[in-house]
């Protein structure tokens, strides 16, 4: 009979497991945030994605915690096995979810199945650790130590994720790195508790899983490129993530295309139609447009159109994302698309939240172009509310006009007319119009001012789409785009987001 194994020093054993609490708590929150962020990128509506995924994840953790009562023997070995499994499932979450989105119609089934599996395993971890450590500390001291480290790990993950992981490490590499951290806890536990589990095969499995995840982290850029090639029709020429969004540019037969969080924003083949229509019907109608403001539009295309009017002396561009303005200002290939407008001495670029910036900035402008993405989420929907348009009105100089991107009056008819109604509810005169943009179809705009709008008799030279004779047709709406009864969009109801979502859903379903 072999001699009994000498016990490990209690201090070493408890110290290792307490460090493990912090590590696994950090990893667990990162997996939750990864799944929510990827779902938001691919499906849109970040509020819905984060709410449902967090709910499913927490519920699954509860299932895992309850199930831990059925494990009574070989707790150290079971804990190591759980760490290996949660590291592999959490670490592979990004490549699996991107692949599932491009290859199967059952993406949501894969998404919530993966979240559930991760949550159940994470829910098993803390109960196992409490039971393993119960002989090392008094109960009240043990619970306070474990829970405080668990919450501290959650804080670390919630700060690391938006400030460093998304913009610097990337979603793909982050999942592999934190999966590897989970498995590293298993490897460490294998060695510290080797006299307890006595399973060389378990140690080999932990090292094998660790090697796989480290290899994934090393080749994560290649995996990211591969997954994005599956998502987009044309070759991806630039892919970057900021704390605010994922920016992808493709280039192919359809020209250069810009995608934000997977949603097409422009195509170089016909974006001039959209941006000429956004800018010139309003700008040309201002008697003396010395100062102009662009809210959103970090691609610089609206700024390019404004600079065609020689009467404009200064243009201020306010865009939330410095990465956007850097790409379209500093990158030669993409700056050429806006005729290097962001490098003009007449242009000032400000990276700020337009909603907040309008409240704190006292300046007034003769012309304002509002070029935000469609109100597909509540964070974007706030930029189409009466609150926002009242702030906008305060920045209009006497005789000034604001031109507002307002979604498609054909596809999202109620959303378009809700924007019109919301501008009027904010105390401004609202003049709706539309223009055909082949990539997107009929697109809508609203001119907002304090005085009645008068169409201009002349436009700047060199326009490719608009002509003075063609302007009146932009303001005529056929029967299928005519006004319909709608509610005003306010911060406390965000009805516009619902209108927009319903319009696109009905369009996709062919209703």
Given pLDDT bands bounded at 50, 70 and 90, which one contains residue 3? Answer: very low
Among residues 241, 167, 171, 182, which one has the least CA distance to residue 214? 182
CA dist 82 and 189 (Å) reads 12
Residue 6 pLDDT more than 50? no
pLDDT by residue (tens digit) across 447-470? 999 999 999 999 999 999 999 999
Residue 416 pLDDT more than 70? yes
Residue 25 pLDDT more than 50? yes
pTM of the model: 0.78
pLDDT by residue (tens digit) across 72-98? 888 888 899 999 999 999 999 999 998
Integer Rg of the chain from CA: 28
Mean pLDDT of 282-299: 97
pLDDT by residue (tens digit) across 342-360? 999 999 999 999 999 999 9
Among residues 295, 288, 305, which one has the least CA distance to residue 366? 288
Confidence (pLDDT) at 13: 59
Higher pLDDT, 508 or 426: 426
pLDDT by residue (tens digit) across 104-157? 889 999 999 999 999 999 999 989 888 887 767 777 787 888 889 889 999 999
Residue 472 pLDDT more than 60? yes
Confidence (pLDDT) at 191: 84
45 part of the active site: no
Mean pLDDT of 433-454: 96
CA dist 226 and 468 (Å) reads 47
CA dist 74 and 356 (Å) reads 56
CA dist 440 and 273 (Å) reads 11
List of long-range contacts for 252-256, beta carbons under 8 Å, 24+ apart: 254/439, 256/334, 256/337
Average pLDDT for the chain = 91
Residue 477 pLDDT more than 90? yes
Q: Which of 150, 309, 366, 371 is catalytic?
A: 371
Per-position DSSP letters for 312-333, written without gaps between them = --EEEEEES-HHHHHHHHH-HH
Sheet holding 291-296, edge to edge: 347-351, 314-319, 291-296, 365-371, 396-405, 441-449, 429-437
Residue 414 pLDDT more than 90? yes
């Amino acid at each position: 009979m072999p001699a009994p194994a000498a016990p490990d020093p209690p201090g070493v054993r408890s110290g290792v497991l307490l460090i493990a609490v912090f590590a696994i708590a950090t990893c667990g929150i990162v997996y939750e945030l990864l799944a929510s962020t990827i779902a938001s990128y691919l499906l849109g509506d970040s509020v819905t994605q984060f709410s449902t995924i967090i709910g499913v994840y927490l519920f699954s953790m509860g299932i895992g915690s309850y199930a831990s009562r059925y494990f009574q023997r070989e707790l150290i070995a079971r804990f190591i096995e759980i760490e290996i499994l949660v590291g592999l499932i959490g670490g592979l979450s990004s490549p699996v979810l991107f692949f599932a989105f491009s290859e199967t119609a059952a993406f949501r089934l894969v998404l919530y199945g993966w979240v559930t599996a991760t949550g159940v395993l994470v829910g098993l971890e803390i109960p196992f650790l409490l039971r393993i450590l119960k002989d090392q500390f008094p109960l009240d001291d043990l619970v306070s130590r474990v829970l405080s480290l668990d919450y501290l790990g959650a804080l670390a993950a919630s700060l690391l994720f938006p400030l460093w992981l998304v913009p610097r490490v990337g979603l793909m590499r982050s999942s592999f790195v934190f999966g590897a951290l989970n498995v590293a806890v298993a490897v460490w536990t294998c060695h510290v508790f080797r006299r307890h589990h006595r399973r060389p095969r378990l140690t080999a499995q932990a090292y094998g899983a660790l090697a796989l995840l480290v290899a994934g982290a090393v080749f994560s850029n290649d995996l990211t490129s591969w997954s994005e090639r599956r998502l987009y029709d044309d070759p991806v020429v630039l892919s970057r993530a900021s704390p605010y969004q994922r920016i992808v540019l493709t280039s192919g037969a359809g020209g250069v295309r810009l995608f934000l969080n997977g949603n097409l924003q422009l195509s170089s083949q016909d974006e001039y139609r959209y941006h000429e229509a956004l800018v010139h019907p309003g700008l040309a109608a201002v008697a003396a447009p010395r100062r102009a403001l662009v809210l959103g539009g970090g691609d610089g295309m609206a700024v390019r159109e404004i600079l065609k009017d020689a009467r404009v002396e200064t243009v201020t561009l306010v865009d939330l994302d410095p990465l956007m303005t850097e790409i379209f200002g500093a990158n030669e290939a993409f700056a050429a698309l806006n005729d290097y407008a962001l490098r003009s001495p007449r242009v000032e670029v400000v990276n700020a939240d337009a909603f907040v910036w309008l409240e704190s900035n006292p300046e007034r402008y003769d012309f304002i172009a509002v070029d935000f993405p469609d109100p597909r989420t509540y964070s974007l929907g706030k930029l189409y509310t009466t609150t926002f348009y009242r702030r906008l009105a305060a920045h209009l100089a006497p005789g000034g006009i604001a031109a507002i991107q307002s979604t498609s009056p054909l596809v999202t008819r109620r959303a378009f007319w809700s924007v019109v109604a919301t501008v009027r509810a904010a105390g401004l005169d609202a003049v709706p119009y539309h223009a055909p943009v082949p990539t997107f179809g009929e697109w809508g705009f609203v001119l907002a001012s304090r005085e009645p709008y008068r169409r201009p008799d002349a436009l700047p030279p060199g326009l490719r789409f608009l002509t003075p004779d063609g302007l009146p047709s932009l303001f005529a709406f056929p029967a299928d785009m005519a006004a319909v009864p709608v509610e005003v969009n306010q911060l406390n109801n965000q009805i516009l987001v619902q209108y927009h979502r319903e319009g696109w859903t009905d369009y996709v379903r062919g209703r």
